[in-house]
Structure 1
Amino acid sequence: MSTNPPIATTEEYNPQVPPILPHEKVYSIQVGYKLFRLSGLSLSSDAPSYFTKFFEQPDNEEKILFFDRNPLIFEKIYNHLQGYSININNDFEFVHLWSDCFYFGLKRLQKILSEQDLFANIGNQTFRIPQSLINIPGNSPNFFTINYDRLLIDNLNLIESKNMLRPPPQTPPTVNNRSSELFHDLLEFSKGNNLIVRNDDHRQLLIREARYYRFLELEQRLIKHRLSPFGEIILNINDISRKGLLNPSTKEQEMALMYCRPFIKEQHRELIFQIDAKDFDQSELKIVLNKKTKLPTVKITNKACHKLQQVFKDHISEVLIDDKSLIFLVGFTNSTTFINGKEMNPNWVNELLGIDNPTTDDTSNKKKRKIDDQSNTTDDSDKGDIIEINLSRSLWKLVSRGHLARLHAVTLEGFTCSSDTKIDFL
């Protein structure tokens, strides 16, 4: 026996029925092998319709209206006209009822169906997809609503343009090349069951499925993130959407970039983003310390460079771009750094650069000119003044002053030679 809840309209029920047909008169409708007898009250409850237009004609009052359709589907319509809520058991039953109610012109039933859960077949398994998932900002329009809208429009256009004697055949949305198990987990997560996510690999599979079905709000809920003790939001660079970024800085006031996950009702927080060597080559992110200019910078190349440009393109217009690379000034105040498995002291950068009186990080024009000098120095034959540290994992803030931007290190893990040290990152 099906345990699906019955379909019910969300609008307030109106017991008054217009007298389109005499309420006390009984009319006969033959559907396939079964005869249905309905009162004028029942037929008028969802009118005007194919039925009321037929029986309103005086010559048709005593006739039996015949349809060569499935009487099991018409049973649902029969119950609806009698005032009962109806229960739909599977995807084909839903589509057939949907198709017939449009053909018969039952507008109230159309509205009820359009407000209810949808059905789809994913990987040979039928799913009931709740409106609480498919009809909220970020999740709509999606794969299923687009399919059902097209089904509705195509049905109406065909019936009206060709004056068809019966509705055209329709099939429910079917996705054979996706996993039914993953879709089940996706529905469970949408209901608040966060424990359904088994590990990071499983999370990535669910995110991929959410993107496929265009559940963008659900995708944001699935993305791994955490809040720091100071209230910053920490995300992997690959999980950041440009839509969620906010630059609160001005030309006079330097501030960190803020972030809010799109479609999620939460406040903007300072953004800390993570870059991992498992996502990019280890040589694509380097700390470069120039003893001549006394400037610490970070050089980002190739795929990592492309990713940062893609995410932060509206906020790094003044950053030096050299072919396929980005070069940022970088600050280290209150940061934690591990190099070759060893935790560095808070003043390690100034010690390596030979700076006795460190100054506060800024993005002045003077420092920007020095970056240009450093870019040229890296190609000189004298490499003794350049120290390069490859970063395997790193946490950063993007700090802006108007259109000027620099990176501020939060936690770094790097090496000047091979290192197997692991630290607690995202």
Structure 2
Amino acid sequence: MASSTSAAPSDGSHTEQTIHKIPDILPRERVFPIQIGGEIFKLSGASISSDAPSYFSQYFLCQIKQAQQNGQDISASIRTLYIDRDPVTFSDIALHLQGYHIQPHDGTHFVRLFADAQFYNCKLALEIMVTLYEESIFISIGDREFQIPRDVLTDPANSPNYFSLGFGLLFARRDEVFPGLDREGLIRPPSILPPSVPNRNADTFADLLRLLHGYPIRIRDETHRDELLRDARYFHFKGLEQKLIPHSISFNSVRQRSEIVLRLENVQKSGIHIIHDRAEEVIEEGGIAAFAESMSGWVNYSRPYVDDAPAELVLEIGAESTRLHFTTDGPRAEFFGDTCARVSKLFEVIATKLGLPPTTQPLGLLMASGGARSLRAVPGNTPLSEDLVIVRLGPEAAVTLDGEDYTYTPPHLAENADSAGANSRKRRRTEGALSDEPLEGENWTIKRGQWRLRIQRSTHGKSNFECAMEAVCLEAFSSELGRNKTRGFLRN
């Protein structure tokens, strides 16, 4: 009988150093025939023993022991093992048994290797699971195969996600890969489909994957952005979603503060912060005691999972859902539809951050009427505002009214300017009078507006604080004529 070291070259896969690490289960120099489908594979005892215990090692070991018990020649007693499986897939498993590293190259190859390796009880199945959990995920998105590096999917800002949760359930434990099936009596493994998401667009996912790798992409238009956002939400990439939503972050050198412009519908509760006006301290939830009545502050925002520090929030509201009323107490804002509900929810969150109750309704009345959900979602049901929200409209606000630039002058400043004979900009009114400020009872419809949210001492008595909206940039019209001026014709 040849020595174990001399048997290594005949197999071509084990070095002298590794041959001694192979368990002494089957004679290492003996060749064992295995027929998979219509193709015969001949593997040495060293190759089969290196992966023991497995289906192959148990099969041939039983034959050897039976031959020894019966006093038979081992060479004549070894029968060919026949298994009705795919020989192409087994050729890779045979390479694994001979010591070669096997790397799946697509989703179909991945599941076939995994299913057959599990069926044969090979350690290759464990290596594939290690590949799954530590290296790459193979999946088909739309009509294209993707190999996704594992580290891309384990970023805390974007996990757990569709892939980490889905693959974690699919391959949770090695001994329960085929739940509900008895491995001992299993004739063949069940059919496993390659992981796929057929109802998503491959090009869109390729863009998301590029962003996850840290590379920028060019967002062609709003339709493209909407597609990216929709699929980012589908795959549960929360951090990526926050990066994709329309926003602008800049440093305001005049105010010496960082600002973030964000649309109302994209504001999330976890990103809201209240910054003390003087101390520049963040007021945490329930921090009303630290917020002195003589102080004021500003609502700040940090995108969840993305931003490290909050910036002063400039809230953008569009869709012609805001109406500005000019009253004796100053400008007041009225909101409609979903915008009204969103502003109300935002005020509830701000009230909670200040340690105030989210609603001013008595508990008994709430219970009798069906709870807080039965209340109309209007700012007046929060402790920070009446139904018409206080607006601060100063000369620094950039206002476009009826298609023309307009500078608002508060009434008391306008009176001083008129008495001094100041030459200020005028605008025409329907009554023929010239005035630099709107008349009492007039209202504007705000097509688009940007606002800062200021927390200040209350003037309505509902609580110690109120939220005022400070106009930053407004696009408004005062009549149907002004609205019609902004109309455009349909494109061919």
The Cα of 1:198 is off from its aligned counterpart by 0.9
Name the SS of the counterpart of 2:341 in structure 1: helix
Which of the residues 372, 379, 395 maps onto 2:450?
395
Q: List gaps (5 residues or longer) in structure 1.
A: 1-13, 357-383
Matched, 1:112 2:131: yes
Which of the residues 237, 246, 252 maps onto 1:224?
246
Matched, 1:213 2:235: yes
Matched, 1:203 2:225: yes
**Inter-partner Cα distance in structure 2 for 1:273 and 1:17:** 71
Counterpart residue number, 2:314: 272
Q: List gaps (5 residues or longer) in structure 2.
A: 1-16, 67-73, 253-257, 275-281, 284-289, 352-356, 362-374, 380-387, 418-438, 457-463, 488-492
Matched, 1:73 2:110: no
The structure number with the bigger radius of gyration is 2
The Cα of 1:421 is off from its aligned counterpart by 6.3
Change (3 A) 1:54 1:320: same
User: Residue type matched to 1:245 in 2?
Assistant: I
Counterpart residue number, 2:188: 166
Counterpart residue number, 2:65: 59
Counterpart residue number, 2:6: none
User: Residue type matched to 1:388 in 2?
Assistant: N
Name the SS of the counterpart of 1:167 in structure 2: coil
2:323 touches 2:445 (CA, 8 Å); kept in 1? yes
The Cα of 1:39 is off from its aligned counterpart by 4.7
**Inter-partner Cα distance in structure 2 for 1:215 and 1:204:** 14
Counterpart residue number, 2:38: 33
Residue by residue, what CA displacement relative to the aligned partner does 1:192-215 show, whole Å, maximum 9, x if unpaired?
A: 443342112211111111112222
Counterpart residue number, 1:125: 144
Name the SS of the counterpart of 2:194 in structure 1: coil
**Inter-partner Cα distance in structure 2 for 1:311 and 1:49:** 61
Which segment drifts farther, 198-207 or 103-112? 103-112
**Inter-partner Cα distance in structure 1 for 2:91 and 2:359:** 69
1:301 touches 1:325 (CA, 8 Å); kept in 2? no
TM-score by length of 1: 0.74
**Inter-partner Cα distance in structure 2 for 1:262 and 1:184:** 24
The Cα of 1:102 is off from its aligned counterpart by 3.1
Name the SS of the counterpart of 1:120 in structure 2: strand
**Inter-partner Cα distance in structure 1 for 2:57 and 2:466:** 71
Which of the residues 256, 261, 280 maps onto 2:298?
256
Which of the residues 403, 410, 424 maps onto 2:472?
410
The count of corresponding residues between Structure 1 and Structure 2 is 375
1:26 touches 1:37 (CA, 8 Å); kept in 2? no
1:21 touches 1:52 (CA, 8 Å); kept in 2? no
The Cα of 1:171 is off from its aligned counterpart by 0.6
**Inter-partner Cα distance in structure 1 for 2:178 and 2:201:** 32
Name the SS of the counterpart of 1:187 in structure 2: helix
Matched, 1:89 2:93: no
Name the SS of the counterpart of 1:88 in structure 2: coil
Change (3 A) 1:102 1:141: farther
Which segment drifts farther, 397-406 or 336-345? 397-406
Matched, 1:102 2:129: no
The Cα of 1:340 is off from its aligned counterpart by 2.0
**Inter-partner Cα distance in structure 1 for 2:476 and 2:19:** 75
2:107 touches 2:139 (CA, 8 Å); kept in 1? yes
User: Residue type matched to 1:337 in 2?
Assistant: V
**Inter-partner Cα distance in structure 2 for 1:275 and 1:17:** 74
**Inter-partner Cα distance in structure 2 for 1:300 and 1:185:** 37
Counterpart residue number, 1:328: 389
1:246 touches 1:259 (CA, 8 Å); kept in 2? yes
Name the SS of the counterpart of 2:217 in structure 1: helix
Which of the residues 187, 190, 196 maps onto 2:212?
190
Superposed counterparts of 1:296-311, under 5 Å: 296-311=331-346
The Cα of 1:170 is off from its aligned counterpart by 0.9
The Cα of 1:312 is off from its aligned counterpart by 5.2
Residue by residue, what CA displacement relative to the aligned partner does 1:251-292 show, whole Å, maximum 9, x if unpaired?
A: 324322222222225322222221122xxxx2x31222211x
**Inter-partner Cα distance in structure 1 for 2:30 and 2:344:** 72
The Cα of 1:236 is off from its aligned counterpart by 1.7
**Inter-partner Cα distance in structure 1 for 2:57 and 2:237:** 41
Counterpart residue number, 2:426: none
Change (3 A) 1:161 1:76: closer
1:189 touches 1:196 (CA, 8 Å); kept in 2? no
Which of the residues 441, 456, 460 maps onto 1:386?
441
TM-score by length of 2: 0.65
**Inter-partner Cα distance in structure 2 for 1:82 and 1:350:** 90
Which segment drifts farther, 171-180 or 296-305? 171-180
Change (3 A) 1:30 1:352: farther
**Inter-partner Cα distance in structure 1 for 2:79 and 2:345:** 69
Name the SS of the counterpart of 1:314 in structure 2: helix
Counterpart residue number, 1:380: none
Change (3 A) 1:114 1:99: farther
Change (3 A) 1:262 1:101: farther
**Inter-partner Cα distance in structure 2 for 1:39 and 1:109:** 23
Residue by residue, what CA displacement relative to the aligned partner does 1:160-205 show, whole Å, maximum 9, x if unpaired?
A: 4784222110112333333233223333333344334211221111
User: Residue type matched to 1:20 in 2?
Assistant: P
**Inter-partner Cα distance in structure 2 for 1:229 and 1:303:** 31
User: Residue type matched to 1:35 in 2?
Assistant: I
Considering Cα pairs closer than 8 Å and 6+ residues apart, tell me whether 1 or 2 has the greater RCO: 1
**Inter-partner Cα distance in structure 1 for 2:138 and 2:168:** 13
Residue by residue, what CA displacement relative to the aligned partner does 1:133-154 show, whole Å, maximum 9, x if unpaired?
A: 3332243333334443343357
**Inter-partner Cα distance in structure 1 for 2:466 and 2:19:** 67
Which of the residues 285, 289, 300 maps onto 2:326?
289
User: Residue type matched to 1:251 in 2?
Assistant: F
**Inter-partner Cα distance in structure 1 for 2:204 and 2:238:** 16
**Inter-partner Cα distance in structure 2 for 1:352 and 1:386:** 19
